[in-house]
A and B are shown apart, each in its own frame.
Chain A
C-alpha cells in the first residue's frame, strides 16, 4: 500500500518567491495534517482537515501561509511570499478516522525547504 506521498522532496527557493507543497494522503483516510519541524521548535502542527474541511488552523504562523484540500486525495500548503525563517522540513500526515486526533497518524517523507 502506498503511504502518504509528498512533493517535492526538496525545495530551494529565494526569499519572496511562492512555494507550494503537495500531499496525497493514504487512500481511505479522512484526516490530514500539516506539520513543520525545525531544530529550534521541534514538530509543530500547522493545520488539520477532517473530510477535506479545515478544522484547526491555529498553528499557521501568519497570513503568508495557506492550505487547501480540494478533495480527499490532495492537499497543498502554500507560502507566499517565502522568508528564510520558513526553512524547515514540512510533513504531511493522515489518519483513518475523524474522531478528533486520537488516532495513529502516518507521516509522509517530508519536504525539505530552504529559503535563501
Chain B
C-alpha cells in the first residue's frame, strides 16, 4: 500500500459546484498535513495547512480525521480558476514530505 493515496480524478464539475477530495495515509505517526495546488506545467504551491480541528480559508475547508487516517479538502462555489491538480502532503515527525499523486480538478463553464 502506498504511503499516501488520492483519487486521481479527473473531477469535472460545473462552475459554482461544491467538490471534495480525500487523501488517505498509511503512517499512523503522521503529524503534519498540507494541501498544495499545482497548475498545469507549473510548480506546486501551498494552498493551506491542515489543522487537527479543521480550518477554513475562504471557499476552501480542510479537515483531518486521524482515526480513519485521511484528510479532506472541500471547495465551495468552484471557479474556473480552481482547475488544477491538488496534492496532499503528509509528514511524520523527523520524516520528509510525502506527496500524494494528486487529484485533477476541471471546473467547467
Q: Please tell me if the beta carbons of A107 and B43 are within 8 angstroms of each other in the complex.
A: yes
Q: Please tell me if the beta carbons of A107 and B91 are within 8 angstroms of each other in the complex.
A: no
Q: Please tell me if the beta carbons of B43 and A105 are within 8 angstroms of each other in the complex.
A: no
Number of interface residues of A (CB under 8 A): 18
With a cutoff of 8 Å between Cβ atoms, the chain B residues found around residue A33 in the complex are: 97
Asked if A45 is at the interface (CB within 8 A of a chain B CB), the reply is yes
Q: Mark A53-74, 1 if CB is under 8 A from B, else 0.
A: 0001001000000000000000
Asked if B14 is at the interface (CB within 8 A of a chain A CB), the reply is no
With a cutoff of 8 Å between Cβ atoms, the chain B residues found around residue A80 in the complex are: none
Q: Mark A87-116, 1 if CB is under 8 A from B, else 0.
A: 000010000000011101111111000000
A-B contact pairs, 25 of them (CB 8 A): A42-B99, A42-B101, A42-B102, A43-B44, A43-B99, A45-B96, A45-B97, A59-B96, A91-B43, A91-B44, A100-B93, A100-B94, A100-B95, A101-B91, A102-B31, A102-B91, A104-B34, A104-B46, A104-B49, A105-B97, A106-B46, A107-B43, A107-B45, A108-B43, A109-B43
